[in-house]
Amino acid sequence: MPATAALAQAGPAPAAIPPAPPPSFGTLALRWYRLNQGRLRATAIGIISLIAFLLVWHLLTTYRVVFFVRFTNVPSPLAVYASFVKAIHDPKFLMHILLSCRRIFIGFSLAAVVGVPLGLIMGRFKLVHEIIFPVAEVLRLIPAIAWVPMAIMLWPTNEQSIVFITFLGSFFPILVNTLHGMSLVDPVLVRAAQCLGARERSIFREVYFPASLPHIFTGLTVGMGVAWVSLIAAEMISGQYGIGYFTWEAYSLVQYADIALGMIAIGVLGLGSSLLIRGAGHLVMPWRSTR
Partner 1 sequence: MSEMLASEAKGHIDVKNFSLSYDSIEGPVQAVTDTQIHVKPGEFVSIVGPSGCGKSTLLNAVAGFLTPTTGIVTVDGERVNGPSAERGMVFQQYSLFPWKTVRENVEFGLKMRGMPRSQRERAARTLLGLAGLEAFEKHYPEKLSGGMKQRVGIVRALATGPKVLLLDEPFGALDAQTRVIMQQILTNMWQRLKISVLFVTHDIDEAIFLSDRVYCMTARPGSIKAEIPIPLERPRQQSMMMSSEFLALRRGLMSLIREESLKAMGGEINDMGMQGLNIELHGHSLADVI
By CB under 8 A, is residue 141 in contact with partner 1? no
Beta carbons of 142 and 214 less than 8 angstroms apart: no
Among 210, 221, 255, 274, binds partner 1 (CB under 8 A): 210
Q: How far is the CB of 116 from partner 1 (least distance, A)?
A: 16
Q: How far is the CB of 41 from partner 1 (least distance, A)?
A: 27
Q: In angstroms, what CA-CA distances link 202 with 145, 146, 178, 187, 196?
A: 40, 41, 19, 15, 11
By CB under 8 A, is residue 9 in contact with partner 1? no
In three-state form (DSSP H/G/I as H, E/B as E, the rest C), the secondary structure along the chain is CHHHHHHHCCCCCCCCCCCCCCCCHHHHHHHHHHHCHHHHHHHHHHHHHHHHHHHHHHHHHHCCCEECEECCCCCCHHHHHHHHHHHHCCHHHHHHHHHHHHHHHHHHHHHHHHHHHHHHHHHHCHHHHHHHHHHHHHHCCCCHHHHHHHHHHHCCCHHHHHHHHHHHHHHHHHHHHHHHHHHCCCHHHHHHHHCCCCCHHHHHHHHHHHHHHHHHHHHHHHHHHHHHHHHHHHHHHHCCCCHHHHHHHHHHCCCHHHHHHHHHHHHHHHHHHHHHHHHHHHHHCHHHHCC
Say how many residues touch partner 1, by CB under 8 A: 23
By CB under 8 A, is residue 19 in contact with partner 1? no
Among 145, 206, 237, 278, binds partner 1 (CB under 8 A): 206
The torsion angles phi and psi of 66, rounded to 5 degrees, stand at -125, 105
Nearest residue (CB) to partner 1, 54 versus 189: 189
Q: How far is the CB of 197 from partner 1 (least distance, A)?
A: 3
By CB under 8 A, is residue 285 in contact with partner 1? yes
Among 198, 256, 263, 274, binds partner 1 (CB under 8 A): 198
Binding mask 166-195 for partner 1 (x = CB under 8 A): --------------------x-xx-xxxxx
Nearest residue (CB) to partner 1, 209 versus 246: 209
Determine the interface stretch with partner 1 among 130-138, 201-209, 229-237, 248-256 (rule: CB under 8 A). 201-209
By CB under 8 A, is residue 106 in contact with partner 1? no
Among 19, 127, 197, 254, binds partner 1 (CB under 8 A): 197
Q: How far is the CB of 38 from partner 1 (least distance, A)?
A: 22
Nearest residue (CB) to partner 1, 140 versus 180: 180
By CB under 8 A, is residue 157 in contact with partner 1? no
Contact residues: partner 1, CB under 8 A: 186, 188-189, 191-199, 202, 206-207, 210-211, 213, 285-287, 290-291
